[in-house]
Each structure stands twice: as C-alpha cells, then as structure tokens.
Structure 1
C-alpha cells in the first residue's frame, strides 16, 4: 500500500505571484512539484511626512531577510530571519532540496500538529510557504535562551554560575514547564515520541518551550482501542494517516537514549502517553543527577538493550562532585517513572504533576528513613504557620527544659 502512496497537493497560487515560466521545484519528488512564488514582499505601508501632513506610502521589499543559521538536523535546517513587516526576529525551518516523500509527510505533519497545540510551552507556528528554490518551510517564534542539553553540560562541568542559578527547586520548576506542555498535548491526543534535553528550550526569564514535534502523532489513551492509523494493514485515507502509517513501518522511532522500552522494541501499537512519561523521567533523571542512566554504553545494540532491561539504582549513584546530593524524595519520584512495565509507571502527566506538587508542598511519601525525617520536619514547619503562638510557646518550654537539664548535668559533674 505504502509503496504506491503519492501526495498530490491541491495548491491554488495567485497568478500575480508567479513569474512567466515559473519553475516546478526542481529537485523535489515529481508528485510534490507545484508552482513557486518568486518572492514574498512586505505589505504594511510606512508613514512619510510632507511638512505637517502625514502620507501613508506603499513600502515594498523582501519580507524575510536571512540572518544566520541556527541549526541543522535530519528534517532540515533552521535559520534566523528578520521579518521586515512586523519588525521582529523569527525562526524558519525548511526542508532541504530533494527531500523524499517520507520527510515531506513528516514535515507537513509537524506543521499541522504544532499548529493545533496552542500553548505557552509549545513553540507557535506563524506561517508556511515554499521558497524560490522549491523548499517547503514554516516560520515560527525565535526562541531565546539555551537547550536543556546545554544547561546539563554546564552543570556537569561544574559551571559555578549555572549551579548557583539551577538549584534543585529551579530544576523542578523547569521540569514542571515541560510537563505542562506535554499534559496539554496529551489531552489534545498527541504524543511527542522524541523527548530529550536537546528538544527543551529554557529562556533567560525562565520560559520553557518544547520543540521539534516532527515525530509526534495521534494516539489513543491507555486501555483504549488503537486507532486505524496504527495498523499497517489499514488504508491511508488522508495525509495524517499516511504519515503515521509510514512511521509504523520503521523498527525504531525516536532517540534511543531517551525512548521507552516499548519504543526500543519497535512495538508501535503499544506506544501511548506512558511512553512519553518514561522519556520525561529519563531527561529529568539526567537533569538532576547530571549523568545518563545508560552512561558508558556505546553501540546502538547496547543502548537498546539497556533501555529494555537496565533499571537504574538511583540511591547508589555517586553524587556529582559539583553539587550536593539529589533530594531523596525526587529519587523516589524517578523510581516509579523509570519502571520498565508501562502499567507500573506514571499513567499520565497529570499524575506526575500531582506527585511533584506533593513533594514541593512537603507532602512527602514515607518510603525510607530519610523521607520519614523530611516528612516530619515539613510537618513541623507547616505547624509554625498554622499555630505560631503554640509552636513558639512549645519551643520556648522545650529550650528551657533542655537548658535546665544541661545546667543540672554541669552542676553534678563539677560539684
């Protein structure tokens, strides 16, 4: 079925945008060739003063000016542009010339997926088009800041400024921003399938954005019947099903170090929101411990074997020399999140959020001696706010008894 799959775009192009004998996208698959606009000019006018009179005059120039490249990947390149109409910097992601049908399908699905995910923690799409060289592109917000991957590397190397800023509570807040994005996407019916530190942007004011939704797809919730698009025998009736169908044929989809065990086994019919929750816990583990739980594995076969079988012993991991120990309650949080069996890990991002909120509020689950002590101390701190007079009186009396006991002991010893 998929060997004969062809995507024939239904494109209507204004004749005023075409030069005589416009090209047919040389280098692209024949089934994707369409007329190409020669340019995209600005449309907003400018104000010109003639004495005391204001004149609004047309101002036409190329709308987008390419500034510099921002990055390159398997799905194409990202460049920084100056938008001369709106006077802002934007990012443009485009397919390379000669892109095959599979990459085109995934590119289109990425645009349509992100276009449906209107959330502050998900990068928005501003525009789409085809440039003069026949390359499909979309324009999105230019994100300031750095990737979580870069932040982890700075912390791992002992950058003092990074450690001063990214304390454990701040790391938890950043992770909650990621959870907000994924919780929203899951409620809209999409899973990401490629969650990793390189796909998380952290801005200078704490903004957290999840990017690169090129492998995202619609999925059923745990326990629901799989959609028709998840079956390789189903007929692809639209572009979304076609892209999902072609993805199903691959043995492994995602980034091996961060994928779930079911992804590593190529069991695409079993990949649901719990696969994303596993990947989220992998990147959170690395953010906290500054060491990947599969550190040292070199070959793809070793990595995939580790994803399926290696259960990290979180409380036996040596502390990074540049930071204090990871709070035990966060270690227990990750223990459940990294369960190999989907039924044993967090069943939703909402469940993860509730568990983290409990930790932040001091409602720590008693699972070991350390958590028991911290639970008691947090309880005492809450009592200080709820009953300050009683706590002050009680602590004063306790201090008095302690001092009296010490005085009596000293008297006995020296008398």
Structure 2
C-alpha cells in the first residue's frame, strides 16, 4: 500500500437506481485504509459521518472483512458511548461505505496533546477531574461491551472521540474478540472471525505482544484502560517505543511508574495523586491476574478518588484506607 493513501474523489454516493443517498462534504479523517467524510443523508436530512474504503483497500479481502466486521459489531453494541451505525453497503461503483452519527469534537489523544502543550491563551485547561470524567465514560462503554462478550483489543486515545458537548465514543471495533460465555454455544454478538491480529501499539498488552491469542480476555482491555489512565495522569504514553522491536520489548517489560514522570500542569496542587498512580499501575500489571478483575472494579477505585476530591480535597481517612488496601493487594500479587 502507498504511504500516501488516495481518497475517493467523492461528490456523492448514488445507489444503483440512480437515487442520490449521501451528499459528501469535507474529509474528517484520512486513514491508511479508509477515509471518513462529513456527509448529509439526503433522505433524512441529517448530518452523518461516512466512512469509505480506499481504492487499494477495496481489493484486499482482509480490509474488506474488517470494514464489514467493524460495522456489524458496533451495530450490535447499543450504548451511548458507542457510535450508532446507520448504514452499511456499497454504491453503484461498488465502493463500500458505512455511516454513523456525526460528532463535532476531537480525539482524546488530540485533547491530551493540547493539555500538554504550552499555554498560548487564557483559555482554561481541562482539569484532572474533567479528564477522569471522560475516562469513566470510556469505561462505561467497555464494561457494556464486556457484558456482551466483546473485547475491544485495540483501545488507545487515538480511537476515542470526545464531543463538544461532553459526549465520549469508543470507535474501531473491527479487530474485537468475541467471547463465548460458559453455558452458551455462540457469542452474544455475531460477526465474522477477525482476519488479522492487531498491530503493536503503546497500549498493547503483554499477552497480545506474545501472540498468546487464547489469553486475550476482558483483562486485556483493562490493561489498555490502565495505559489510557497513565496517559491522563502523565500526558505521556505508558511506553515510548517507535519501532516494532522496541514496542515488543517494552510491552513485555514493567512500566515506569507515573511518579517518575516530569510534573504536569493539570495535577491538583502541582502534585501527582499517588492513589491514582497506583490504580494505573495495577491495571498495567504484566500478569493478567494482578489487574483489576473487571472494568467496574477499576471504575470504583477511580470513583473513590473522585468522591474525595469533590468533597473538598483529601478526605484523608477514606482515601488513605483505600490507598493502603490497594497497595497491599498489589504488593502481595507483585
């Protein structure tokens, strides 16, 4: 594939009978295998995001399967934190597309980069509390997916959308793993088997890095959520590798604790909350059994800090009891 993918020169999506279905606007995202456009659903008169496979991707069966699978999985996960799928098909030129709700906003990665950048105006930065509220919404969506037997497998800040009005959406479900619960014969969400393994990223779990596909379960997503929490706290990725070999080596090595990172402008009182750092490191444990057993338990530990902060600061007795208890559990398993 070319390093500079060529988007379709779209002006409209027209059906086989010549009926105009979507009027195409500006490009929102140019990806390596597809292009996402702002578009207008002519029949319903609403704005949508239209995703179209690139010409070179149309000829690759793996990319076509992943494209279809992503829409099918997301369509069966009906949750406020997962974009609803409106349409999936192809036009009279056999160009495959899907449409979802159009959201004005940016990726979580872009938002965190803005927090980390030097202040150029008097505009307030998002507080750590505001970022944790976003994190809880991400967790809500993933907890729901897990209840349906879906493990996302490729969570990272770049594929999370934060809307202008507080909406948070988890995207990119094309490589999700579908679990079969005990006592059931089929997965609760129906879709073709994934045709490829996720590429290494700075949020890849050790079991994924080792290629231990049978070990991938809901705790794989909890590891990625720990990486996202690490990024929220430190404004840096949990690992820093650039090449595939560096990513592989670092994914299998203990993470450098948040306390070792340089100070960040959004820390309350210019101090990293030790309790949150410990929660992040627990979720990032190399051993799956040392991580939080469910997304809800991770959320509860975050909520303990949020409740103390909302109460006016330290709430020392409550937070210290929870913090020392968490440390004890972490140390025993470490």
1:81 aligns with 2:39: yes
1:345 aligns with 2:291: yes
Give 2:281's match in structure 1, choosing from 302, 324, 335. 335
Q: Answer whether contact 2:305 2:319 (CA < 8 A) is retained.
A: no
Could you say which residue in structure 2 is the equivalent of 1:154?
114
Deviates more, 1:326-335 or 1:148-157: 326-335
Q: Answer whether contact 2:127 2:266 (CA < 8 A) is retained.
A: no
- CA positional deviation for 1:326: 2.4
In the alignment, the residues of structure 2 paired with residue 162 and residue 99 of structure 1 have an alpha-carbon distance, to the nearest angstrom, of: 50
- CA positional deviation for 1:336: 0.7
Correspondence list, 1:194-273, <5 A = 194-220=154-180, 240-241=191-192, 243-244=193-194, 246-247=195-196, 250=197, 253-273=198-218
Could you say which residue in structure 1 is the equivalent of 2:16?
38
In the alignment, the residues of structure 2 paired with residue 315 and residue 227 of structure 1 have an alpha-carbon distance, to the nearest angstrom, of: 46
Partner secondary structure for residue 126 of structure 1:
strand
Q: Answer whether contact 2:72 2:191 (CA < 8 A) is retained.
A: no
Q: For residues 377 and 354 of structure 1, do their structure 2 counterparts lie closer, same or farther at Cα, with a shift above 3 Å needed?
A: closer
**1:300-337, CA deviations, whole angstroms, 9 ceiling, x for partnerless residues?**
11111111113222222221367523222211111211
- CA positional deviation for 1:117: 0.6
1:276 aligns with 2:221: yes
In the alignment, the residues of structure 2 paired with residue 123 and residue 312 of structure 1 have an alpha-carbon distance, to the nearest angstrom, of: 34
Could you say which residue in structure 1 is the equivalent of 2:261?
317
Q: For residues 162 and 305 of structure 1, do their structure 2 counterparts lie closer, same or farther at Cα, with a shift above 3 Å needed?
A: farther
In the alignment, the residues of structure 2 paired with residue 39 and residue 90 of structure 1 have an alpha-carbon distance, to the nearest angstrom, of: 22
Partner secondary structure for residue 51 of structure 2:
strand
In the alignment, the residues of structure 2 paired with residue 162 and residue 108 of structure 1 have an alpha-carbon distance, to the nearest angstrom, of: 45
Could you say which residue in structure 2 is the equivalent of 1:65?
23
Give 2:316's match in structure 1, choosing from 365, 369, 375. 375
Could you say which residue in structure 1 is the equivalent of 2:231?
286
Give 1:181's match in structure 2, choosing from 141, 156, 176. 141
In the alignment, the residues of structure 2 paired with residue 378 and residue 101 of structure 1 have an alpha-carbon distance, to the nearest angstrom, of: 52
Could you say which residue in structure 2 is the equivalent of 1:120?
80
When normalised by structure 2's length, the TM-score is 0.81
- Tell me the matched-pair count: 298
In the alignment, the residues of structure 1 paired with residue 121 and residue 215 of structure 2 have an alpha-carbon distance, to the nearest angstrom, of: 42
Q: For residues 208 and 309 of structure 1, do their structure 2 counterparts lie closer, same or farther at Cα, with a shift above 3 Å needed?
A: same
Q: Answer whether contact 2:202 2:251 (CA < 8 A) is retained.
A: yes
In the alignment, the residues of structure 1 paired with residue 165 and residue 121 of structure 2 have an alpha-carbon distance, to the nearest angstrom, of: 15
Partner secondary structure for residue 289 of structure 2:
helix
Partner secondary structure for residue 115 of structure 1:
helix
When normalised by structure 1's length, the TM-score is 0.66
- CA positional deviation for 1:377: 8.2
Correspondence list, 1:126-141, <5 A = 126-141=86-101
Partner secondary structure for residue 71 of structure 1:
strand
Could you say which residue in structure 2 is the equivalent of 1:398?
none
